[in-house]
Amino acid sequence: MVRGLAFIIVLGCFLQPIFGFAQPAQTPASLRQNAITLEQQGKNTDAASQWRALLKLRPNDPEPYAHLGLIAAREGQYQEAAANYRKALALGPKLLSVELNLGLALFKGGEMKQAAEVFKPLLQQLPSASPQARQVNLLMGMACYGMAQYAEAVPYLKSAAAQDPQSLPLLLALAHSYLWSRQFKDVLNVYQQILAVNPDSAEADMLAGEALDEMKDNEGSTKMFRAAVKANPKEPNAHFGLGYLLWTQKQYPEAASEFQAELANDPNHAQAMLYLADSLIQMNHPDQARPLLEKTELLDPSLPLVHLDLGILETDAGNNSAALRELEQAEKLIPDDVNVHWRLGRLYRAMDRKEEARAEFDKASKLNKAADEDLYKKIANGAARGPHANASSPAPSEAASPSTSAAPHADPQP
């Protein structure tokens, strides 16, 4: 029986090629067609296997690499996708679709600099009115935006917004780019465009408020932030922005209310907590301010004002060693702040460290004098352009001591 079975197996081996039982070897054409069909069916893993099999037969064929790049991109594997697209382009020809896909993979993978290096030459090759040019123009603008190159982003985003004037995210990106490249009047122009799309955009109100604040229009900026809070009380940083503007105007009670509202939305908003504490100090409530400052220091010890204010509280409480530690930390973070040096000078004097006190007062005096001279130059330059250009101007004033209020410090930007 065993011998008979062995004979049948051997016979089958001889007959298989005769009667076509053997699996035919796959040709490059069949592998390619299988891969394309599987891709169209969404079977990415199987399709990739077929493309790799084709590469074994045709290692210098760019098409499998282009498709492997596309499959990797669909799977969110953008680094692998970019590598495959580069191989396809290196083998040639440099197809526009592959170059676009390479740029897009780099963009989605967060490689903005490399993406821009792909997009920029493409923009020079594509007809300006073509859909591809519009797509690349937008991607180029967003790549510059992602690299914080806001001035460079503006022309691309402006062009994209002209093509799609109803896109709120695009208009907001353009407005931010104008703001962060200090083109404040243009922010206000885009703000009007945003209002036409969404009259209740709290983010747009905040952008306009920031631009007006930079233009020294306190009334206008405060009005915009009030509008933002009204439009959306939950908008991140809206209450903080309004509170900060009120704080700079020394309207501490109302500022404190806004900081509290921000903390109600975000209990760990370090800067809202810090400026609420500072407002409480200004309103002579140091006991309420201290726990807020201590929590802020844990959340973000890099904020100079937290160390300055804690130094002030420790000084007032007679805890000189703790005060010195906080003020020295503030000095490291903001070495050019007059008030820090002045506070340190007073503390050293109270600790009978006369030489160190004199050194700190000298630093404060020089900083004050430099500020006065800068102001004098600005006044003199303004006068030179006016009708009384030849009139004599007063000499710069002597350096004055800072205010001796509860917390005399500069207005650090949030």
Q: What is the CATH number of the domain that holds 74?
A: 1.25.40.10
Domain-embedded: residue 238: no
Q: Residue 240: what are its φ and ψ, rounded to 5°?
A: -65, -45
Shared-domain flag, residues 412 and 316: yes
CB atoms under 10 Å from CB of 163, counted, come to 13
- Cβ pair 193, 167 in contact under 8 A: no
Predicted structure pTM score: 0.68
Domain edge (last residue) among 110, 139, 173: 110
Instruction: Output the CA–CA distances (angstroms, integers) from residue 394 to 195, 302, 385, 398, in the order listed.
Output: 48, 41, 17, 12
Residue type, 108: K
Q: Angle at Cα 410 formed by Cα 408 and Cα 414, nearest 5°?
A: 125
Would you state the pLDDT for residue 24? 54
Would you state the pLDDT for residue 212? 92
For the chain, 414 residues long, give each residue's pLDDT as a single digit of tens: 444 444 333 334 433 443 444 445 678 888 889 889 988 898 989 989 989 998 898 999 999 999 999 999 999 999 999 999 999 999 988 888 999 999 999 999 999 999 999 999 999 888 888 899 999 999 999 999 999 999 999 999 999 999 999 999 999 999 999 999 999 999 999 999 999 999 888 899 999 999 998 999 989 999 999 999 999 999 999 999 999 999 999 999 999 999 999 999 999 999 999 999 999 999 999 999 999 999 999 999 999 999 999 999 999 999 999 999 999 999 999 898 888 989 999 999 999 999 998 998 888 888 777 665 654 454 445 434 443 333 333 322 222 233 323 333 433 334
Shared-domain flag, residues 309 and 363: yes
Domain-embedded: residue 84: yes
Domain-embedded: residue 201: no
Would you state the pLDDT for residue 351? 92
Q: What is the pLDDT of residues 155-191, one digit of tens each?
A: 999 999 999 999 999 999 999 999 999 999 999 999 9
Question: Where would I find the H helices in 249-285?
Answer: 252-265, 270-282
Instruction: Output the CA–CA distances (angstroms, integers) from residue 188 to 44, 102, 177, 178, in the order listed.
Output: 48, 36, 12, 9
Domain-embedded: residue 233: no
Shared-domain flag, residues 98 and 158: no
Shared-domain flag, residues 102 and 144: no
Residue reference for tokens 């702040």: 337
Tell me the residue range of the domain where 407 lies: 301-376+400-414
Domain-embedded: residue 151: yes
Shared-domain flag, residues 74 and 157: no
Distance CA 186, CA 349 (A): 51
Would you state the pLDDT for residue 5? 40
Shared-domain flag, residues 337 and 412: yes
Shared-domain flag, residues 307 and 333: yes
Shared-domain flag, residues 53 and 147: no
Per-residue tokens: 339? 């008030």
Would you state the pLDDT for residue 365? 84
Domain-embedded: residue 254: no
Give the count of domains, the chain: 3
Would you state the pLDDT for residue 382? 45
CB atoms under 10 Å from CB of 118, counted, come to 26
Shared-domain flag, residues 335 and 407: yes
Domain-embedded: residue 342: yes
Would you state the pLDDT for residue 128? 83
Q: What is the pLDDT of residues 321-365, one digit of tens each?
A: 999 999 999 999 989 888 898 999 999 999 999 999 899 888 888
Shared-domain flag, residues 93 and 137: no
Domain-embedded: residue 271: no
Q: Angle at Cα 137 formed by Cα 178 and Cα 204, nearest 5°?
A: 30
Shared-domain flag, residues 89 and 130: no
Residue type, 374: D
Would you state the pLDDT for residue 374? 56
- Cβ pair 314, 282 in contact under 8 A: no
Shared-domain flag, residues 309 and 410: yes
Would you state the pLDDT for residue 377? 54
Residues near 412 by beta carbon (within 8 Å), at least 6 away in sequence: 304, 305, 334
Would you state the pLDDT for residue 94? 85
